[in-house]
A and B are shown apart, each in its own frame.
Chain A
Amino acid sequence: MRCEQARRMMSARLDGSLDPTEMSRLRDHMASCAACQVEWEKMEALDQLFKSAPMRDAPPYLRIRVTSRIERRDRARRAIIGGMALALGTATLTVLVLAPFALGLLDNLGFGPALVVGGMETVTQLLVLLDALSRALIVLLDQFARPLAILGIGSLLMALVLNGLWIVTIRRLRVVR
């Protein structure tokens, strides 16, 4: 048996998951290997050390702090939802109240129909513009697919290199400190 395998078996032995055959093989190995014998003593000592460490008590106010944080969170959530509902309601009410007056005023001034027609035209123009832009983008992507891919991969590599340099710098700074 190799020492590496024996040490794995030592760990399993501490967990009580070694069968009698494996246990006997481990004992045979340890009887003839001083290094593994020392390793076993260390592992056993560590096992005792960790088993003897007690559970640490929670601070007495932990429950109060948790429940008050939950309360605060719920209150804040209720306040946000309430605030949004209030704002939305107020805006809707304002529009509903003011709309007839505004429309009446525009109509009296002779701008009403023009505004509606103008609005529709603007929306149509915007849709046409969006359509043209998306077509142009497709053509552009089609034409420059390869250079764009190269550019994208290049940027990604550069970002990775910069990230690596950043991590190395931080580690060095920590070592220096």
Chain B
Amino acid sequence: MTEEEEWIKAAREGDKAAFGHLVEAYQTPIYNLTYRMLHNQSEAEEAAQEAFIRAYKHLNSYDPGRPFSSWLFSIASHYCIDRLRRRRIDWLPLKEEIAEPVRLATTSPNPETVATDRDREAWIQELMNALSPTDRAALTLHYWYDCSYKEIAEVLNLTVSAVKSRLYRARRTLAEQMEGESYAL
């Protein structure tokens, strides 16, 4: 039995410290997922917390035959998708929601690099805002987690062909967004 399996088993029996280890192990992947979906630090943090709380509450419904990461990603993705759908009828303009300072995982002391990273982050956020919540989730799982079509399909409850279509559609939308922009990197 791996360390993770032991933590899961103990957490299912009510061991909160074991669940704490699971949170520690997955906090960055889950936070990154919620951030890439919501593009807002405080919302992303709240969503990450909520995803872990939901996972704790429903730990007994987790199927140990499935990767724990996929199960967690599924909870976090669906939470973010719901949140984005609710945000659609929000009265606030979207532009206000993305005006956030950037915090990157890689520490880069060079100011020039920081500026480039910020530009890239801002650009990615702007591009992804044009995508539907599910397309956004599919693209995030593909690029940041190297998930295969099958894994994305499992996380988002889609078919493999639907995932392919969504990735294609997302790329087409992003390419359209790039009209008139200089895209030489």
Contacts and interface: CB of A to CB of B under 8 A. Distances in A.
Co-assembled chains A and B: yes
Contacts of A46: 127, 171, 174-175, 178, 183
B123 A49 contact: yes
Contact of A71 (B16, B91, B167): B16
Nearest to B174: A46
Interface string A149-177: 00000000000000000010010011001
B58 to A, nearest CB: 13
A8 interface: yes
B1 interface: no
A63 B24 contact: yes
A14 interface: yes
Given A62-B48, A69-B49, A173-B91, A55 B168 contact: no
B73 interface: no
**Interface residues of A, dominant DSSP:** helix
B38 to A, nearest CB: 12
A52 B105 CA distance: 12
A114 B156 CA distance: 66
**Interface residues of B, dominant DSSP:** helix
A177 B93 contact: yes
Contacts of A137: none
B175 A15 contact: no
A8 B31 contact: no
A49 B178 CA distance: 12
A48 B121 CA distance: 13
A39 B19 CA distance: 46
A2 to B, nearest CB: 14
A81 interface: no
A15 B142 contact: yes
Looking at A7, A17, A43, the one whose CB has the most chain B CB atoms below 10 A away is: A43
B91 A65 contact: no
9 residue pairs, one from A and one from B, having the closest CB atoms? A58-B31, A58-B27, A11-B168, A45-B183, A50-B143, A42-B175, A57-B105, A66-B52, A54-B105
Given A53-B143, A62-B23, 9 more contacts: A39-B175, A42-B183, A43-B171, A53-B120, A55-B32, A55-B144, A70-B16, A71-B16, A74-B16
